[in-house]
Structure 1
Amino acid sequence: MSNSATDRAALPQSVWAARGRHTGPDPEDVVRRTLRRHKEGGDIDDFAEPPAPGDTPGDDAPPKIFEARWRAGGTVTVRARLTLVPRQGKPQGHVWQLVAEAERPWDEGWPSPATLFWPEGGSGDDGSWDHHPTVAGLRFRQVNALPADDKEMRRRLRDAAREAWCVNLVVHEAMTPDEQGRLPLARLLPPGLRHRVVEHRAAPHQLRGVNWALKDLGVEVPRGGAVLLPPDPAPEDYDGAPHRVRSVFLDGSEPAELLTALRHFVALPRPAPQDEVAALADLRDNWTLMTHQEELDRERRLVAMYAEALEAMTKSRDLYKQAAEQALEALAAYRDVPPPALPQQRPAVRTPAPLHQLTRTFERLRFPGLPGRAKAAPEDTADGTDRPS
């Protein structure tokens, strides 16, 4: 399991998010018909199909985006955005992700956003939209029997736990249930939880095998009870005890203890996966289905933002101009000041070297008989006669 949870923010409690896979043809037509029917019936206020970012006519299978808004409880505005992306490889189909945000914390009694985009029951619901997004064979609204092979069981639970958008519930049957007990527990859950829970069911003889398969995830299911798989990524202080149910009665009665565990689990401030955070940011930043008042408010916010940016640019320009003027004044003042007078330097007195003086002294001496030396000119005596040599 991933351990990179430290840098991820938790989603606010006003957000409802789910992801699945549609296996049939033309899922966008199914969504359009469903939204149109709900608008005509007054369940939603309006819907739109904005172009996907970067959607050009030459793109290969671009994603499809649908927006819808309604008032939950008659007063709380909800905005929702569904994105359909063709899945490459296996399992095939279109992966859909749905993010809805309300004006206040989400009430589990409100209608599920999934049933406002996808058909729920009736002739239009062929069961193509409620498949697990990555694990083949898993469904949201059905009981998913665990494989008989222990290794395959471990692989399935491990792969399912990686899908952080879903809530994975593992239930062990204490005894073989009757027809009522074989119905999915999802039908007994509130609408806000119904299409986010994947129910894995272990047969009575699979208790040892399922706990062996869950060992890597650090949890264990009681005999005849249930356990919720830890979130991925799990918070550092995650405690699995409140999410383990000792007994689940498969008799059609409301599973009160299980509901308590589910409510506690979905309310955890756990770090959201990156793609879920990106989907919420896409809903907020690229929302197009606005009322006239919302468009006016948006334009006012843009005007205020531009005014702040212009004011900041003006202040920056003034500061730059002031700094330039001060620099020019300093340069002009520097040019007007005459350069400082340098101290006069006296010519250096050349002192003869001691060897040169000694040479001149020897030149004055006369040594008779030395070859190669010219005779000095005769000097006059004091009486005018020449001195004898």
Structure 2
Amino acid sequence: MSTSPSARPTIPSTVWSTRGRHTATAAADVVREHLRRLKDDQVIDDFKEVPDDESPEGHRVFEARWRVPDAVTVRARLTLTDVPEAGSDAGQEWTLVAEAERPWEQRWPSPAAVFWPWEYESDPDHVTPTGLRLGDANPLPADEQDMRRVLRGAQRDGWSIDVVVHEAMTPDAMGRRPLTRFLPPGLRHRVVEHRASPHQLRAVNYALRDSGVEVPRGGAVVLPGTPAPPDADAADLAVRTVFLDGSEPTGLVDAVVRFAALPRPLPDGGQEALAALRDDWSLLTLEEELARERRLVAMYAEALEAMTKSRDLYREAAERAHEALTVYRETGSVEAPEPQQTKPADKSGTSPLQQLTRTFERLKWRPAPSSNGTTEAEETPES
């Protein structure tokens, strides 16, 4: 398995994430209308479009909250951005991160279906950032150099789970249908399916030689990604036989489900997206708003108490300094230096402040003079 020298934090078990690109225009309008319809149908509890002045520049942010079976609350955040180095006709990239109150179960509905109207098996408006169709069977390029580029990109992209299926023979219409339709709902929008034609097997395995896995003839393999999960086993990722006759590929489904359950590293940008979901969440219930206000009140009270203690400490220090200065002036035994008079630097390394402090200490412990000018120690007769 290919690994990275620098360890990345893993995806929390409560988190579901993916990203893609909406190729049609007016992506924000599509999301807004779909969320409004789901709220009216009581499929979701609530949603919010974050105001532009509260969102990063050039981003449109939507938040939604709903409940899955067993009354588990899910919070999700979708961020739309313009496609880098592309025109307005290229659509917008989207990043979706959702988090549940307990570890995620793949039988739960896909958060992507909450924000986007996935009305077909393969939505023509959605592709991966590398241009592959989500929910479709993507043929690998005939050119070997382009094929290696696609597989390298699939290995580096940790946002999706990539599967390579080898067609032992040219499939019929049923065999060309995507296998992702058999996956649990929570995986259907996270898995990208690649199809290798019968004569591409050797070239595909040569391109995957550094990944530690290979595609069996007439079978499939789940790509481990870069870096690979520590617990990934090449034997568990490979499926020896996949029948492309319209029947459910149970072996492939099991392999994908096992791989999705492994603790996988956060992809590039995943840590920032998760932090935005947790730290910038603004779609609060009434109870959550009250709890937040209580936390703010407690925080302000602690800050005020700390400021009060600091003020008292400064006041006490000032009073002690004033008392010491009064004793210093009343004794008259040491003349205070004039402010405009400068003295040569003390070669011993003692600062004027330290000298003054020591003088205060000597004055503090010096016996007070009696009325006849002698100290109490001088008046005491020797024994």
Same fold (TM over 0.5): yes
d(CA) in 2 for partners of 1:337, 1:247: 102
d(CA) in 1 for partners of 2:27, 2:208: 35
What TM-score comes out, normalization by structure 2 length?
Answer: 0.78
CA contact (8 A) 2:231 2:262 kept: no
CA contact (8 A) 1:5 1:234 kept: no
**Distance change (3 Å), C-alpha of 1:95 and 1:328:** same
d(CA) in 2 for partners of 1:128, 1:146: 18
d(CA) in 2 for partners of 1:284, 1:312: 28
d(CA) in 1 for partners of 2:245, 2:307: 70
d(CA) in 2 for partners of 1:24, 1:126: 14
Pairs within 5 Å for 1:102-251: 102-121=100-119, 127-133=123-129, 135-136=130-131, 138-235=132-229, 238-251=232-245
User: Percent of aligned pairs with the same residue?
Assistant: 58
The one-letter amino acid of 2:150's match is R
- Which whole-Å deviations, capped at 9, do the CAs of 1:113-134 have from their partners, x for residues lacking one? 1111111216xx993442011x
**Distance change (3 Å), C-alpha of 1:53 and 1:277:** farther
The one-letter amino acid of 1:104's match is R
What TM-score comes out, normalization by structure 1 length?
Answer: 0.77
- Aligned residue for 2:81, secondary structure, equals strand
Question: What is the match of residue 63 of structure 2?
Answer: 67
- Which whole-Å deviations, capped at 9, do the CAs of 1:65-115 have from their partners, x for residues lacking one? 111111111611111111111113259220011111111111111111111
CA contact (8 A) 2:232 2:262 kept: no
d(CA) in 2 for partners of 1:149, 1:184: 22
The one-letter amino acid of 1:27's match is A
Structure 2 gap segments, 5+ residues each: 335-383
Question: What is the match of residue 12 of structure 1?
Answer: 12
Question: What is the match of residue 96 of structure 1?
Answer: 94
Question: What is the match of residue 3 of structure 1?
Answer: 4
d(CA) in 2 for partners of 1:149, 1:101: 40
C-alpha deviation, 1:232, in angstroms: 2.9
Question: What is the match of residue 380 of structure 1?
Answer: none
1:253 to 247, 254, 263: 247
d(CA) in 2 for partners of 1:238, 1:329: 73
CA contact (8 A) 2:50 2:63 kept: yes
1:307 to 301, 304, 308: 301
CA contact (8 A) 1:118 1:129 kept: no
**Distance change (3 Å), C-alpha of 1:305 and 1:176:** same
Question: What is the match of residue 40 of structure 1?
Answer: 40
d(CA) in 1 for partners of 2:86, 2:239: 34
The one-letter amino acid of 1:105's match is P
Structure 1 gap segments, 5+ residues each: 341-389
The one-letter amino acid of 2:93's match is V
- Which whole-Å deviations, capped at 9, do the CAs of 1:150-175 have from their partners, x for residues lacking one? 11110111122222111111111223
d(CA) in 2 for partners of 1:113, 1:227: 26
Question: What is the match of residue 23 of structure 1?
Answer: 23
The one-letter amino acid of 2:116's match is W
C-alpha deviation, 1:54, in angstroms: 5.8
C-alpha deviation, 1:206, in angstroms: 1.1
- Which whole-Å deviations, capped at 9, do the CAs of 1:307-337 have from their partners, x for residues lacking one? 2222333333334444444444455555556
- Which whole-Å deviations, capped at 9, do the CAs of 1:215-273 have from their partners, x for residues lacking one? 23332112222222223333566543322222223233333332332223222223213
d(CA) in 1 for partners of 2:68, 2:125: 23
**Distance change (3 Å), C-alpha of 1:15 and 1:53:** farther
CA contact (8 A) 2:122 2:133 kept: no
- Aligned residue for 1:171, secondary structure, equals strand
- Which whole-Å deviations, capped at 9, do the CAs of 1:254-299 have from their partners, x for residues lacking one? 3333233222322222321341111121122222222211111111
Question: What is the match of residue 82 of structure 2?
Answer: 86
CA contact (8 A) 2:59 2:81 kept: yes
The one-letter amino acid of 1:82's match is L
d(CA) in 1 for partners of 2:306, 2:289: 26
